Structures are given as C-alpha cells and as structure tokens.
Amino acid sequence: MRLTPCLLTGLLALLVCPGRGVERLPVELFARAPETARARLSPDGKRLGFLRDSGKFTTVHVLDIDQNKLFRLDQDEALLANDATKEAESFTWVGNERLVVTTSVRDAIYGVVATDWNGARPVAISGYEDNKISLNGQKLFARDVIHVFHDKEMNILMLDDHLGGPGRRDRPDILKVSTLSGTPLLEVKNPGEVARWGVDLEGVVRFGLLVHGEQTGATYRESDQTPWRTIMPLAKRTGQMRPLGFDGANNRVFVAALTKERRWAPFPLDPATGELGEPLLSDPEYDIFPDRFTPAMSGVPLVGPIFSRRKKALTGIRYYTESARIKWLDREFAGYQMVVDKSMPDTVNLLVDETPDGKRQLWFSYSDQNPGLYSLLDVEKRRITPLARSRSTIKPDQMATTLVIKYHARDGLLIHGYLTVPVGHKPDEKLPLVVMPHGGPWVRDIWGFDPLVQLLANRGYAVLQMNYRGSTGYGDELYQQARKQIGGKIQDDIEDATQWAIQAGVADPQRIAIMGMSYGGYSALFALGKSPGLYRCGISFAGVTDWPAMYEDSDVAESKSAKRYWREQIGDPNKEDLKAISPINFADKITAPVLIIQGKRDARVPQDQAKRMIAALEKADRKPQSLFLAEVGHNYGDQKKRTEIYKAMVDFLEKNLGPGVP
C-alpha cells in the first residue's frame, strides 16, 4: 500500500486559531430540520416557495417577498393513509399563483396535486390523490414534471413510466396535463425503444434516446409537425448517452457522453448528421455530468446545464470537482456571478431561478460551515436582499472546517475525500477519529454543511470521509473498478483511508471508530470483522448484514431492472462469495463494541437484516447495543427521531471511543 500524506491538500497550512473556543452545543441544534429547503421563485418573482419541516411533517410554505408575509400550504389531512402523515416531497411553480406538489407517505410517493399558493383550487393530478384518475382505463402514477408551459391552462409535461399499469418503466410515454382540470392527454407515445426523451425550451419533444440491449441510438424531429427520423442507428457504444437540452438560437442538441478519457461531459450533437462535436467542457480527472447521482445542497443541484428561457440558449454549466464550480458561457450571467461573489466571498454562490423578464434572480449560498442562505438579486439595481436561511439557529463561526484530502489506495488508485477537524485544533494532532464511509455505494460525499459531521466535530472528533471506488463523479473507470468489489477493493479503499490518517498524524491509532448508514453501515460491520484491531468501536445504521437475503427481502426485489443491476454490480446471490462477505457469517470475528440502529419501516434494508446480525453477535457472545425506531424508514425520520439517533451515536462514541478533544 502506498500512502501519500503530502496530498492532504492545503491541510497543514489551514490551521484554526488555537485560542478560539466553541461550547458544547446541544444535539437538538444539529438534529433540527432545515427551516428552508428546495426554495424556488415564482415566475413573476413576487413569491418564494420552499419546503419546511414542522418537526412532524414537511409542507410547502410561500413567502410574499414584497409584503414579507409567510403562508403555509397544508396538505389535505383527510387523505392520510393508514394513519400515516402525508408530506410535501417537492413542488414546481406552474404559474405566478399556482403550484404542482408531489406528496409522499412513509418515504413512498403518494401522488401529485395542483393548487394555488394559498390552497385554493386544488386539483388531483396523479397517484392516490384521487382514485378517479385514469388514462386509458389505467390509474395514472406519473410524478416527474419535465416542462412547464406557463400558458393559460397552466399545462405541464409529465413523464409516465407506467407505474400504474402495463408497460415498461424504462420505456416512458410523455403526457400533457392541465393543472386546472387535471386532465391528462397523451403527448408522445413511446415507439418501443426510447429510454429517455429530450424536450426543447418551448415544450416540444424532439429527441429520443434509443436503447436495445447493449445497443444505443437516437431519434429526432424538427417540430411536433414533422416525423421522427433516426439520426443515430442502434449500435454498441461505450456508455449510455443522455439528453441535456436544446439551444434554440443555434438549433443544437446537447447530450452527455463519454470523452476519450472516459469522463462524462456535455457535447453538442448535430441533429442533421447525428455526429457529436467537441465537448463543451471536460476535465481529465472529474466527470462534468456524472452518469449516476446528482449531488445537491438544500435541493439545489450542484451539477447540470443552465438554460435561459429568456435567451433560448445554454448559458452555463454547473459541475463538481471537490466542490461546486460554474462555467458561464454567457457574459451577462458571468457578470451576475461576479456581483454575488463580491457580496458574499466566503460561500459557494449558485443561481437557482430567474424570472422570464430577467429582472429578479434567486441565489443560494453555502459553505462547509454555513448551511445556506437564499437571496434575491434585483438585476436592475444590482442589489442583493437576504430572503431566508436554511438553518437560522446554526452559527457558522461555531462550526468546523472541512478540508479536501487525497490518498493512494494499496493498488495505486488515487482516492479523494474530506477531513473535518474540531474547531481550535490542528489536523496533525493525532485526534480521536470517526471514519464515515458513505452509503450507496454508487453516490459520493460532497463538500458542504453536514449536520452529523458537525455534531461529531463539536464533540471533539475528527471525521474522515472518502469517495472510494464506485463513487460517482471521478470517471467511468473508477465506477467500473467497483464492479463486484463489495467486501473487496471498495473495503480496501476504506481501510487504506484509515491507515493514511494514522500515518499522516491525523488519527490517534488507539482511538478510531467507524460508522455509516445503509451501505456505509455494512462497511462499518465488515471493517469491524475483517480488521478487528484497527477500530475501537463501530456504528451501523440500516446496514446490510446478509446480501443473499437482500435480493429477496428488500424493495429492490420488486424491480426486475434493479435486481438485474444488483447482479451485475454486486454479484449472484446464489453463489458462496456473497455469503462470505455478509457480516452475519463472520460475527464471531467482531470484538469491538457495536451499536446497531434500525428503522422498523425500512423497505430498502428491512429490519430483519439488523435482527439477524444481533442474533449472530449474541451467538458469538458479542451482544451489541441496539436501537430500533418505529415510524422510521430508510432515513433519519422526523426531528424527534433524528435527535434520538444522534444522541445514541454520541453517547456510544463517548462511552467506547472516549471523550473527544476539548
């Protein structure tokens, strides 16, 4: 194994003032739900819609910006299912006064409803919001809004992936729905092999990605009055291309495809010839537009194209390296970025919305210490007005700094990650360390405010996160190297991060814990069994313990495509190798204290996984500490449950890892 402490980017130079002290903040402060999330500006720029968690459920709130008045849009409680709480999952403005809201019950999508911002004129769109809804005699479960027309009927385009009736989920149709009447009409019928559609800025469906087995191609039409024609015949190509949007001014299609270096990047596609041009932006190390998982902060995507309906063109590209970045293709928008950055130099500043006339813009600003602030930019006056904070009770100067790290795994592969150091301490002080691999595994950790990480840092623990192979955003080969490497090279990457922290002087080798959720919880249990002397204790929250059983018990078993993907990426559940990497089968090797946390309503990792692990540990005379939570799914639950989970984690670490540094 080759370790490179020198690649701890800027770490030893970024020291926190040793005289600065931070009090031990209450757990409830970090467990408190965001007050403002997924905020969006109404088309006229007069109202700000956002999601707010009341502590028990999430609803849409609307702020009248000019009058400074706040309103709450409650969901109809008469439609609650099985005594569960119906919440707002997301929303979209479809007019100056009208919204489309997606609702959920117990982590599952419940339906879609349209309503005025004050609750007037509610109309069911799809799902269980209205049992009378049907399309060709079938119940409609469309939930993805892919275009808003801003016309008198307040029409929208929705993707119908046939969740409510016959048809393949990966062969969606497109519907046109009036949000005033709720009536769905078939806009484009899938000819049979279109997996993804492209819609121009006027709402015309003009591009279709064809998929047949391992072959891909593309179909295109000039307008809704012209016939479809194949511009890319089906052929075996590396990676599945994705439509990004249209440049109406230059009649170009933009797609995401792999570069020669196998990095995902945006390309212009000539609709006349079907040929790709040169990438608009590429990076030799990072994907510009990763194939899977879009990182976001407070619901604001950190990756993706930025189109201006006002200019009918692609104006910018938002992408992610080790933090969020932006490349503006339009000088006007680059100027707005300079204005906002000058006003708020200590945060990452992202454009969220712009009114059709371009006079008002919504911006979101955040950092590793700052949960986020939404601000309104008056373009004509060049004036920025704060509107709402994500978490007003968090004081950024009390939060710890998150630093970028890099290290080489034992096979030489460069791995990226993050290290958060308690306030007032240097990163080379041999600190008590919590290693925290992310879930997924096909997602990634990002630089930004993380309440759990900040809680641990406030308790005096350094926190190490790593984007092991399989994490998205670092190129196709890093993703492919993780194929069937669960319990293999992925786990090596996690252990190598721990060894790096020891050799770099970051961690006290006698005081290292490992913890994680979902796949991260599995990684924690695996590490405790395979490297028992390396970790003092470990926490598994909703961690997988028996891989063969997951193929039958998890909600993934309900989807043929998901199950097929698992077989390709994880392995065949009928083979012995999956049993060998299941922690229940080597529980006797675990000697360190273990805390197992599990939601009783978890459909992704059912509670039986936790029960089997507890039984295996008890059989080996290694009785763990456990916490089972009612009404909690594959998440942290509501504010009360989240507080309970955070307290259990902190108490366990302080008891078994010892207290953190002052």
CA distances, 336 to each of 121, 312, 342, 350, 554 (Å) = 37, 18, 10, 11, 47
pLDDT, tens digit, 9 for 90 and up, residues 314-323: 999 999 999 9
Per-residue confidence (pLDDT) for residue 77, from 0 to 100: 52
Average pLDDT over residues 598-616: 94
Per-residue confidence (pLDDT) for residue 1, from 0 to 100: 32
Per-residue confidence (pLDDT) for residue 17, from 0 to 100: 41
| d(C-alpha 110, C-alpha 8), whole Å | 46
CA distances, 535 to each of 365, 504, 507 (Å) = 37, 17, 11
| d(C-alpha 352, C-alpha 200), whole Å | 20
Residue 42 has pLDDT above 60, yes or no: yes
pLDDT, tens digit, 9 for 90 and up, residues 447-461: 999 999 999 999 999
Average pLDDT over residues 167-182: 91
Q: Find all residues with CB under 8 Å of 407, minimum gap 6, and list them.
A: 3, 4, 5, 7, 414, 415, 417, 496, 497, 500
Per-residue confidence (pLDDT) for residue 7, from 0 to 100: 41
Q: Using alpha carbons, select from 433, 418, 648 the residue that is nearest to residue 541.
A: 648
Residue 584 DSSP symbol = G
Per-residue confidence (pLDDT) for residue 14, from 0 to 100: 36
Average pLDDT over the chain reads 90
pLDDT, tens digit, 9 for 90 and up, residues 218-252: 999 999 999 999 999 999 888 889 999 998 777 78
Residue 39 has pLDDT above 90, yes or no: yes
Which range among 32-36, 75-79, 561-565 has the greatest average pLDDT? 32-36
Q: Using alpha carbons, select from 559, 161, 474 the residue that is nearest to residue 293.
A: 474
Per-residue confidence (pLDDT) for residue 251, from 0 to 100: 78
Both tokens of 526, joined, read 């695996």
Give the range among 51-65, 73-87, 361-375, 636-650 with minimum mean pLDDT.
Answer: 73-87
Cβ density class 140-158: b for 16+ within 10 Å, e for less = bbbbebbbbbbeeebbbbb
Question: 76: pLDDT confidence band, cut at 50, 70 and 90?
Answer: low
Average pLDDT over residues 557-577: 78
Residue with tokens 């009055």: 225
Tell whether omega for the bond before 279 is within 30 degrees of 0, i.e. cis: no
CA torsion 197→200→203→205, rounded to 10°? -40
Beta bridge partners of 516: 540
Judged by DSSP in three states, 333 sits in helix
Residue 28 DSSP symbol = H
Question: 272: pLDDT confidence band, cut at 50, 70 and 90?
Answer: confident
Average pLDDT over residues 363-374: 97
Residue 372 has pLDDT above 50, yes or no: yes
Per-residue confidence (pLDDT) for residue 132, from 0 to 100: 64
Give the gyration radius of the chain's Cα atoms.
Answer: 25
- Give pairs for 85-91: CB < 8 Å, separation 24+: 85/56, 85/57, 86/57, 86/110, 87/57, 87/58, 87/59, 88/51, 88/58, 88/59, 88/60, 89/58, 90/38, 90/51, 90/299, 91/38, 91/40, 91/49, 91/51, 91/60
Per-residue confidence (pLDDT) for residue 135, from 0 to 100: 63
Per-residue confidence (pLDDT) for residue 79, from 0 to 100: 42
What are residue 138's phi and psi, to 5 degrees? -110, 145
Residue with tokens 């955040």: 366
Max CA pair span of the chain: 72
Per-residue confidence (pLDDT) for residue 611, from 0 to 100: 96
Please report, rounded to a whole number, the percentage of residues in the chain having pLDDT higher than 70. Answer: 93
Question: 396: pLDDT confidence band, cut at 50, 70 and 90?
Answer: very high
Instruction: Judge whether 119 and 104 are in contact, CB under 8 Å.
Output: no
What are residue 271's phi and psi, to 5 degrees? -70, -15
The upper half-sphere exposure of residue 125, i.e. CA atoms within 13 Å in the direction of its Cβ, equals: 30
| 572 burial type by CB count under 10 A (0-12 exposed, 13-18 middle, 19+ buried) | middle
Question: 82: pLDDT confidence band, cut at 50, 70 and 90?
Answer: low
Average pLDDT over residues 183-194: 92
